Structures are given as C-alpha cells and as structure tokens.
Amino acid sequence: MRRWVVVWAFAAGLAASGATQAATCAPPGGEAAAVQAVRDFFAALHADDEAAYRRSVTDGFYAYDAGKAFHGDELFGQVKSVHAQGRRIDWMVAEPRVEMVCDTALITYVNKSVVGDAKGMQPVDWLESAWLRYQDGRWRLAFLDSQRAAP
C-alpha cells in the first residue's frame, strides 16, 4: 500500500510539473547528480547551513518525518534545535534507486545513520524516498518521506 502512495504522489507531481511550467529536462545520466543532491541536502542539515539547505530544496518543499509534516524551513529548524540540545545525526544515503522523467526524479534509499550525543552514537536506519525537481541547472528536493526501519 505504501509503495502505491509514493507512486501516486510521484505521478501527481509529474502531472503538476507539466501543468505549471515548461520542463527543462535534466541532462542524460543525471541519476548520480540526483543522488548527490539528496546527499547535499543532508550535508546542509548536518552543518546547520541554512543557505545550502535552501539551495537544496524547492520553494514548496515539504517532508514527512517522525510522524509530522514539515513545510519549508521547518525541518531545518527542527534539526538545528536537536543540534542545539547536544544531539548529533550523521546521515548516509545507501542503496539508492532512481527513476527519472525529464525534470523529475524519485529516489528511494536506506538512510543508514548514526544518532547520539557525547555519551555515544547508535546506528539507526530509515527507509526514505525523495521527489526531486530539476530547476536552474540542479536537482532540488520537493518532497521527502522518512520512516524508521524496523530493527
């Protein structure tokens, strides 16, 4: 069921993207660049780099994470707040699978991370998918869905 929701959201995004503006297709072989865009997104969060974060997302970016919806900069603010409490999250995109159509990409992957503080770090995996748009010559996240993987 969950897979169909993601597929439906991807298809709806494709339809909306075509309805709002003429697409500028990504260059052929852009799968690696799309995956790198997701890695850059997490690097910006890790460094609390708001400018890099904003460069990595679309204007209408939103995410589902930890059972909540985050819009715009809300996810960045949440992560920055966690960092201010002395907690650290190190994200690693693993096993990416990419589906691309012109200016849209759907990436599913396992986020193999470590989470913790000065007392210690623990491995945590999330199952994630990201919908990206190719805008202004770069891939940007439009949507992120994250759920913790079963142990």
Question: Phi first, then psi: what are they for 23, rounded to 5°?
Answer: -80, 140
Q: Please give the pLDDT value at position 96.
A: 97
In a domain, 133, yes or no: yes
Which amino acid would we find at residue 92?
M
Distance CA 6, CA 4 (A): 5
Are residues 30 and 105 in contact, defined by beta-carbon separation less than 8 angstroms? yes
Record the pTM: 0.83
Provide block-wise average pLDDT over 10 residues at a time, the chain (151 residues).
50 49 80 96 97 96 95 95 95 96 96 94 96 95 96 82
Q: Read off the CATH number of the domain in which 81 is found.
A: 3.10.450.50
Distance CA 138, CA 41 (A): 12
Give the length of the chain: 151
Distance CA 13, CA 131 (A): 8
In a domain, 135, yes or no: yes
Q: Please give the pLDDT value at position 28.
A: 85
In a domain, 22, yes or no: no
Domain hosting residue 127, numbered range: 2-17+29-148
Burial class of 84 by CB neighbour count within 10 A (0 to 12, 13 to 18, 19+): exposed
**Domains: count for the chain:** 1
* Strand (E) or helix (H) holding 108: strand 104-117
The one-character DSSP state at 48 is T
In a domain, 131, yes or no: yes
Q: Please give the pLDDT value at position 4.
A: 45
In a domain, 72, yes or no: yes
Q: Please give the pLDDT value at position 31.
A: 93
